[in-house]
Amino acid sequence: MASLSLQHHTNYFLSRALPTRPMPRPTFSVRMSLQETGPSIAVVGVTGAVGQEFLSVLSDRDFPYRSIKMLASKRSAGRRLTFEDNEYIVEELTPESFAGVDIALFSAGGSISKEFGPIAVQQGTIVVDNSSAFRMDEKVPLVIPEVNPEAMENIKVGNGKGALIANPNCSTIICLMAATPLHKRAKVLRMVVSTYQAASGAGAAAMDELELQTREVLEGRSPTCKIFKQQYAFNIFSHNASILPNGYNEEEMKMVNETRKIWNDKDVKVTATCIRVPVMRAHAESVNLQFETPLDEDTARDILRNAPGVVVIDDRKSNHFPTPLEVSNKDDVAVGRIRQDLSLDGNHGLDIFVCGDQIRKGAALNAIQIAEMLL
């Protein structure tokens, strides 16, 4: 397991366990990830929140590799990281970093991806990029493995060709994990999404500031406001992404455009309102779906129970539904509040509430699942 810089946040995540499907466990304790037959990998932005989660997920899933490079900015170069009982020195990212690298996992921001992604591809590396740099490039597949794996079916390690694959925005991933199984059954014509987004979406520094502000406010002190320029603790506000001329912010338009690309449906109508809430690392989303053909709530519940990567928490009797705490540090996206939209006749609409870990399925896990499909 990697030594994670975010471990001091863990006590915020304790809650009742999220119900998950049984997973087979190995009967031995020997680590099988380091294998001579595995690919060589590089993690770009390894010291950041998602970079650290890349390492955690690689270890959790026993991803096979014969070597791993830890890459970051010049400022972080020289730091030592322990991963799966081996110590590594963080190297400065340069154009020469990708020599002999089969798969590079990028999470260092869009400008770094734009500069170094094509360089890596030219050297035969397959880049899985977590930024928004290439998501809307028509030549670059935008992939959620449970949703549209066919988009990258011709890209494999060992064919001698580099390639770019884009990881969707975290809010898009979490939403479409729940909406897609229903879309495949009844075809979504219109989707209205309201998001309640955690600090982790803005990185480890935002998580640290939320923790600091909470202490400061409870102690009667003025909150430190460096990341969002306004009080975050005990407050909510419109997502900090830039506002566009149409009145939407960039985060909202990511959901609109990425959904259309992933579903390969330029006509689906999507609108979103994205909000920051004082939660550490898991997003919540209210999703209203309008369908072409009728879909009743019981059928929808059954579809979601059988959807990969989805768990249903929908207990009306005890008023128990998904919460960010229950999905933090979990792989599955949780869905509940499954009910017929009373404003639409003939079972043509549903409301659902979705929660998912932004750092994990919303970023690192999705990227590692993409990497697994390359093998």
Q: Which residues are catalytic?
A: 170, 283
For helices 49-60 and 365-373, angle between their N-to-C axes, nearest 10 degrees? 50
CB 180 within 8 A of CB 191: no
Classify 183 as helix, strand or coil: helix
Supply 36's token pair: 């001579």
The strand order across the sheet containing 333-340 reads 237-238, 269-276, 188-197, 282-291, 349-357, 333-340, 310-312
Over its C-alpha atoms, the chain yields an Rg (Å, rounded) of 21
Helix (H) or strand (E) holding 180: helix 170-186
CB 356 within 8 A of CB 144: no
Residue 282: which of 129, 370, 171, 146 has the closest Cα? Answer: 171
How many Å apart are CA 57 and CA 271, to the nearest integer? 32
Q: Which DSSP string do the residues of 200-234 spell out, in sequence order?
A: GGG-HHHHHHHHHHHHHHHTTPPPP-SSSSS--TT
